[in-house]
Amino acid sequence: MTASAPAAPGGLVILGANHRSSSVDLRDRIFVPDAEAPAFLTALVARDVSQCQIMSTCDRVEIQAVAPSAPVAISVLQAALAQRSGQPLAEIRDQFYALTGPPALRHLFAVAASLDSMIVGESQVLGQVKASHQLAGDAGTMGPELATMLQAAYGAAKRIRTDTAIARGPVSLATCAVQVAKDIQGDLSRRSCLLIGGGDMGALMLAHLSHAGLRHLVVSAATAMRAQAIARPYGCPSLTYEDLDSALDGADIVIAAAGTGQNIVTAKMVDAALHRRRRRPIFFIDAAVPGDVERAVHDLEAAYRYDLDDLEAVAQEGRLAREAAAGQAWRLLDQEVAAFLRAQAARRAAPGMVRLRRHFEAARAEILARGTALSAQEATRLLVNKLLHGPYQVLRAAAGDSQGEDAAMVSAIERLFDLEEREQEDPGTES
């Protein structure tokens, strides 16, 4: 990265390692837990970085900063992460990305909108950015320039999520299970779940269902002792496989994660339970390989059996839908970035325009002070000459500059006053 790189408003600098640029091992070593973030950020602010925050997630460790000198800041940030990794910077430098100027701003917007994530449209990413923002604010390393850019990024993310399908449709197995459960059973807070076995995948499914509102749970295992051990963290009732027949009567959702290699739940058991339930539906998530729930269960009226392959098919549909929406999302993001840059440029130009108006008003007042002896034609001629005197002298001084400064000034004047356009409209007008 060179000093000539374009500068975004506030001198934005981004340095990080993400799922595309780096290894998991490096990201694990440079990961900054929330408890350590304040000290880490404060140390950066003490070394040529004005404002900063850090995002540490499963797929990125990224510092977003504002600094007076981009090259200096990049060196500081690289050194800080290399020190944390315990490796020489020369060995890991190529796993970092560094961005400044408008590309950095575009990246910041893309991160907030979850367009730069492993899973496009991932809902929790915006929350992670906001949590990093809050952490930096508490640490005293958040400043107005960085905060303004982040707020604009949040607005862009909201527009993209509202106006595109980028976040619609589940894309992970667990979120797919939640979506299907809602489709079948509606309000999960009013439904009961039966967890069979203590497999990791089953626990993951249950965690997502609980987050979606599921409150009522019963746990089942081969022995009473094992069932009690699984149920203890959930604070729920437990039973053994011998009681599965009756347990199905009250189960609206069944998560099977025993992994015994045989069908613990048979079609005959489920058919009997459905009869007793007056055909109120049961949704089965068979999270075991091989399955715990007999495939024939899915053929029963009011019984819905989804194994991991079925959930993966639903997830793939969601991923394809998000990929199709990604093009539109990027176009909206570029519009938001351009609008932000224009607004910032207008704010930077405002003080100059105020001074220019004051200068013009002073010149007008000086001419008017000469009294009423001047005719309107003479007064306006004097005013034009006075206003043009300064610019004319500067142009004369810059004439012949080998850097082409005079040509640049003339071009700027033509743009400011629409001179080329006016001449095309009225070729006879003198400039």
SS3 213: coil
67-to-8, 43, 77, 146, 277 alpha-carbon distances in Å = 11, 14, 11, 10, 66
Token readout for 327 is: 């093009």
Nearest to 180 by CA among 311, 38, 286: 311
CA dihedral 25→27→30→35, nearest 10 degrees, is -120
**Helix pair 37-45, 124-139: axis angle to 10 deg:** 60
Helix (H) / strand (E) containing 184: helix 173-185
How far apart CA 195 and CA 33 sit, in angstroms, is 33
Rg of the chain's alpha carbons, rounded to an integer? 33
CA torsion 289-306-115-340 (nearest 10°) is -150
The owner of tokens 């604009």 is: 152
Structure tokens at 139: 């640490």
58 is catalytic: yes
Choosing from 58, 176, 193, 236, the catalytic residue is: 58
User: CA-based angle 359:361:365, to the nearest 5?
Assistant: 120
Identify the sign of the CA torsion 69, 73, 76, 79: negative
The encoded tokens of residue 20 equal 């595309």
Q: Which residues have CB under 8 Å from 87's CB, separation 6+? A: 29
Active site residues: 58
